[in-house]
Amino acid sequence: MSYSAHQLRDFSYIFSRSNAIRWLKGDFSYFDALLERHNMLKRYKSKSYYKVLRDTYKVLKTHYPNEYLLKNEFLNKWLINQLGNCDSKIFSEFRIGNAIADLAMFNGSSKAFEIKTILDNDSRLKNQLNQYKKIFNEVYLIIPSECLDKYIDYDKDVGVISYDCKLGSFALIVKATNDISIDVNVLMQVLRTKEYLWIVNQHCDVVPSMNAFNQFEISKEIISGIPSEKLNALFLDVIKKRNSTESFLKNKYKFLNQLSLSLNMDEKEIETMIMQLETQTL
């Protein structure tokens, strides 16, 4: 079956955060409007919304590998397998200054992943990568294999992982340079108050007197003096204390993993979402 570009764009919005929040509340109005707009209501009459969502994912995978699809496939086929231990953490849309990494992973090192689909341009990419390199040990670009020539030499320190849309597989093309140095100015933007105070307490034998008005500047000065290797280890430890979902779906529900990660859903919330999708029908 053929699909227009407009139709495929409409399909891709089904997997937005805002829609997932509506599902949890039992609101499937976007599904209804989408199917009516593209004359598909008859096809799905009495079918579950799970069926609509599952079919839509398959269509996007074949015809429109957008950012959600690439993030979800990479999460399922690469990152989850590399979690390694119980204190490893994966985050979706990790903010670094004025940039946001598509995915970030913290275990024995910190890794940032930026996804570029066929549909994307690289107008902001240089700034994004420069920001990531100031705080992450390794930075990777995830690109469709047909875009390899465009990005293979984009940045000598940035690794490249390609995605074959036909085979649905990922391959490491260039390993990223590992760098444990951290730009403290950027670090202080990333850390929450309790996190930079924790680092100060871990480093100092005697913590200086601070109050709400001067704790940021005093902490920044102390953290600036921590040796790179120790600071990198403390950064990894404190970020891994953040709440993030560790409940990833398997088998037929794996196509929803990126949504559950993005919304930081716990097991109960995931079960509620699945139940809503499978029990509600058109």
Closest to 159 in 3D by CA, of 194, 226, 113, 121: 113
Strand partners, 164: 169
Length of the chain: 282
Per-residue pLDDT band at 270 (split at 50, 70, 90): confident
If we measure between CA atoms, which residue out of 13, 14, 10, 17 comes closest to residue 39?
10
- How confident is residue 187, by pLDDT bands cut at 50, 70 and 90? very high
Tokens of 27: 């609101």
Contact 218, 208 (CB under 8 A): yes
**Cα-atom radius of gyration of the chain, to the nearest Å?**
21
| Nearest to 79, CA basis, from 218, 253, 245, 281 | 245
For the four alpha carbons of 225, 227, 230 and 235, in that order, the dihedral sign comes to positive
**Domains of the chain listed by start with CATH number:** 5-64+261-279 (no CATH), 89-174 (3.40.1350.10), 184-239 (no CATH)
Alpha-carbon distance of 104 to 93, in angstroms, equals 8
Q: What pLDDT, in 10s, does the model give residues 31-90? A: 999 999 999 999 999 999 999 999 999 999 989 988 899 999 999 988 887 765 567 889
- List the one residue out of 255, 249, 250, 247 whose CA is nearest residue 51: 255
pTM: 0.92
